[in-house]
Amino acid sequence: MPISIEKKCKDKGVKLTEQRKIIAKVMSESNDHPNVDDLYVRVSKIDSKISIATVYRTVKLFQESGILAKHDFKGSKARYEELNEGHHDHLIDVKTGEIIEFVDNEIEDLQKKVAEKYGYELVDHKLELYGIKKKS
Amino acid sequence: MPISIEKKCKDKGVKLTEQRKIIAKVMSESNDHPNVDDLYVRVSKIDSKISIATVYRTVKLFQESGILAKHDFKGSKARYEELNEGHHDHLIDVKTGEIIEFVDNEIEDLQKKVAEKYGYELVDHKLELYGIKKKS
DNA sequence: GTAGATGCAAAGTATTTGCGACAAG
DNA sequence: CTTGTCGCAAATACTTTGCATCTAC
């Protein structure tokens, strides 16, 4: 099975270069939400000649093509994650930085209602919860 | 009546300099959510000798003291607003950049529940809705 | 073959900081 | 007085870009 990001590139007419394949592969295999530096380090292990400029250009391109999502969480650099069908929001552990993905349809519906109440059609949203792990 | 930001500074032991008073005043009178450049322009009209470094230092200090809130809305620079008792979230018009503040207790409660479901105590959150104005 | 991608280094933005002069408490 | 703040310019952090070369299609 081909890497899903590569398939998306073809579908969207994005030229598949060696560098982009590597970046796609690394992103696919990352379960955390790496920032550009993290990504550059991981990518460099596979091909040390890839420049950071290419990494920046590629994440931007992938983001504009709807392949990756960019997140600006509080107090940290921009982080990226692969975008799949299932939309989700994030719960961030303020102590460790760990990120939990979640979906809550009830909240989603309410958001739509709030937007409508003010005469808007909701086109996008951002919901981030910041929490501290409870002792159990 | 003294400006509420000045009172907060005293309460929190933040030294009240002339520059801080001016920045406090400008923020109090701003109903939009200015970024540092906007703020610097407005502040300079009152005292042209204030440096941008002081504006940066002051918004950071005020933010850490819980006097101002910093927002990183999609695709724009950090913007600031005065923090009052009433918490609220933002609905951003993606065409005009206009910002509507809203409160929805139902959503707030659900957020707390979601965090708890994963074993976390909610300490903070960010909710931004991005919408397009409907024709009416 | 040609349009678009890459690497490199230089240029942009946004923000922070070292330091001597200065002002608030 | 003494500690913290200010203005200035230099430094830093992150990201983008011009250009000559190279590569996918």
Q: Are residues B62 and B19 in the same domain?
A: yes
With a threshold of 0.85, does the pTM exceed it? yes
B40-99 residues touching A, CB cutoff 8 A: 72, 74, 91, 93-94
Same domain, A105 and A58: no
Task: Name the residue with the least CA to C1' distance from nucleotide D3.
Answer: B15
The rounded distance, in Å, linking the Cα atoms of B39 and A50 is 40
Question: Does residue A98 sit within a domain?
Answer: yes
Measured in angstroms, the CA of B5 and the nearest CA of chain A are apart by 24
What's the domain count of chain A? 2
Predicted confidence band at A2 (pLDDT cuts at 50, 70, 90)? low
Q: Is residue B12 domain-shared with residue B69, that is, in the same domain?
A: yes
User: Structure tokens of A71?
Assistant: 């997140």
Region A69-90 average pLDDT:
89
- Asked whether residue B78 falls in the same domain as residue B93, the answer is no
d(C-alpha A128, C-alpha A71), whole Å: 10
Tell which residue, A57, A43, A52, A53, has the closest CA to residue A14.
A57
Tell me what the mean pLDDT of segment A6-28 comes to.
94
pLDDT digits (tens, 9 = 90+) for B82-130: 988 778 999 999 888 889 999 999 999 999 999 999 999 999 999 999 9
- Weakest mean pLDDT among A58-72, A83-97, B52-66: A83-97
Are B69 and B101 found together in one domain? no
User: Do residue A77 and residue A18 come from a single domain?
Assistant: yes
A27, amino acid identity: M
What lies within 8 Å, CB to CB, of A42 at 6+ separation is A26, A30, A34
**Mean of the pLDDT values across residues A84-107?**
90
Q: Is residue A136 part of a domain?
A: no
Which residues form the domain of A113?
89-131
**Residue B2 in this model has a pLDDT that exceeds 60:** no
Question: From the alpha carbon of B10, which nucleotide's C1' atom is closest?
Answer: C25
